[in-house]
């Protein structure tokens, strides 16, 4: 029976992305033979799509689809492992099709969207087939569908990495586009202060108090300092309080702009690709060092044999 070393298990995991214990079991069953162990995993874990399911998908694209009358629309995020894959024409087409189907068919969730017909199969079969072709894990992360109270406008920026969908009541088409562009650029968290999660405000307040204490501010002043910090934070993260990015005087807020135009924002959705996801950090130097160490150990094992 061949020795199943940690380096052997790591090598098989790197080749297949299978869970560590699955790799160890496969190598044991294959008596340490790498090719045979990989074959065992392919049988056990299925095709390429299954094998890549554990890979991090923090790159990708956004797509927006809005009906001609501006009354229904959707924004969708589809992820992949590398930016290179995101530039693939078929990946871009899949992302656009997902947005169109989400807007037209109003699926309840990602699972329902994946089950919708697309081409000769479904969205899910198209996704799986593309995984096999590209060789990367692909996932439909999220989508938002909007029934507008007014009219929908959108803006997609940065190679389809940032997208905004805004529901505008009143105003004109140009105002809608300007607002969507502003949202993409300024990234507000909510329309008004009421929409900002309480935990975010609590965090800002706590940090402000800790910082004030570190600066030896009087205890009697801490609450006032914290309140001032929170109010400044709210101006930065609420759409209506933000200064319009195209303001000629550099001071006009979105609320003032809307009032001047006799318009109102009913709501908005902002997506940033990979936001909140862990991205794979490739340390090339560490990778080379690890490979060198593994090779040295392998040579040492051979000499001992």
For the cut 50, the answer to whether the pLDDT of residue 288 exceeds it is no
β-bridge mates for residue 63, sequence order? 76
- What pTM value is reported for the model? 0.71
What would the pLDDT profile of 165-211 be if each residue is shown by its tens digit?
999 999 999 999 999 999 999 999 999 999 999 998 998 999 889 88
Please state the domain extents for the chain. Answer: 6-54, 59-196+238-272
Residue 84: partners with Cβ closer than 8 Å, 6 or more residues away: none
- CA-to-CA distance for 40 and 43, rounded, in angstroms? 5
Q: What is the pLDDT of residue 290?
A: 44
Question: Does the domain formed by 59-196+238-272 have CATH 1.10.3720.10?
Answer: no
For the cut 80, the answer to whether the pLDDT of residue 285 exceeds it is no
CATH homologous superfamily of 6-54 equals Ubiquitin-associated (UBA) domain (1.10.8.10)
For the cut 60, the answer to whether the pLDDT of residue 2 exceeds it is yes
Average pLDDT value for residue range 112-133: 94
- b/e sequence 120-154, b meaning 16+ C-beta within 10 Å: eeebbebbbebbeebebbbbbbebebbebebbbbb
The token pair at 298 is 């392998």
Residue, of 240 and 288, whose pLDDT is higher:
240
Asked whether the CA dihedral 99, 105, 108, 110 is positive or negative, the reply is negative
Q: What is the pLDDT of residue 291?
A: 45
- b/e sequence 225-252, b meaning 16+ C-beta within 10 Å: bbeebbeebbeebbbbbbbbeeeeeeee
Which pairs from 231-237 meet CB under 8 Å and 24+ separation?
Answer: 233/201, 233/204, 234/193, 234/196, 234/201, 237/188, 237/189, 237/190, 237/196, 237/200
For the cut 90, the answer to whether the pLDDT of residue 71 exceeds it is yes
Q: What is the mean pLDDT of the chain?
A: 86
The token pair at 246 is 């195209």
Average pLDDT value for residue range 237-248: 96
Q: What is the pLDDT of residue 47?
A: 46
For the cut 80, the answer to whether the pLDDT of residue 216 exceeds it is yes
For the cut 60, the answer to whether the pLDDT of residue 55 exceeds it is no
SS3 243: strand
- CA-to-CA distance for 113 and 100, rounded, in angstroms? 10
The secondary structure element, H or E, covering residue 131 is: helix 123-134
Q: What is the pLDDT of residue 281?
A: 46
CB 31 within 8 A of CB 2: yes
- CA-to-CA distance for 238 and 253, rounded, in angstroms? 11
Q: What is the pLDDT of residue 21?
A: 82
Q: Above pLDDT 90, what percent of the chain?
A: 62
Average pLDDT value for residue range 62-90: 94
Q: What is the pLDDT of residue 273?
A: 92
CB atoms < 10 A from the CB of 206, how many? 11
């Amino acid at each position: 029976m061949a020795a199943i070393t940690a380096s052997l298990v790591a090598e098989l995991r790197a080749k297949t992305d299978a869970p560590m214990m699955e790799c160890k079991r496969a190598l044991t069953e294959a008596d340490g033979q790498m090719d045979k162990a990989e074959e065992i995993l392919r049988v056990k874990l299925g095709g390429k799509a299954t094998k890549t399911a554990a890979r991090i998908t923090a790159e990708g694209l956004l797509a927006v689809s809005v009906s001609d009358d501006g009354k229904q629309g959707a924004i969708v995020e589809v992820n992949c492992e590398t930016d290179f894959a995101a530039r693939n024409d078929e990946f871009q087409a899949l992302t656009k099709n997902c947005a169109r189907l989400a807007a037209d068919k109003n699926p309840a969730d990602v699972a329902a969207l994946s089950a919708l017909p697309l081409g000769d199969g479904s969205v899910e079969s198209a996704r799986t087939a593309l995984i096999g072709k590209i060789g990367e894990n692909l996932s439909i992360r999220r989508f938002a569908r909007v029934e507008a109270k007014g009219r929908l406008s959108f803006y997609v920026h940065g190679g389809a990495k940032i997208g905004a969908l805004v529901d505008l009541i009143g105003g004109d088409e140009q105002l809608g586009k300007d607002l969507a562009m502003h949202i993409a650029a300024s990234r507000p968290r909510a329309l008004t202060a009421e929409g900002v999660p309480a935990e975010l405000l609590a965090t800002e307040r706590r940090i402000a108090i800790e910082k004030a204490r570190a600066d030896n501010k009087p205890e009697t002043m801490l609450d006032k300092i914290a309140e001032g910090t929170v109010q400044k934070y709210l101006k930065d993260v609420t759409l209506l309080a933000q200064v319009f990015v195209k303001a000629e005087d550099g001071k006009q807020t979105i609320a003032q702009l809307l009032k001047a135009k006799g318009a109102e924002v009913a709501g908005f959705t902002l997506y940033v690709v990979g936001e909140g996801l862990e991205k794979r950090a490739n340390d090339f130097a560490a990778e080379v060092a690890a490979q060198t160490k593994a090779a040295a150990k392998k040579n040492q094992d051979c000499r001992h044999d």
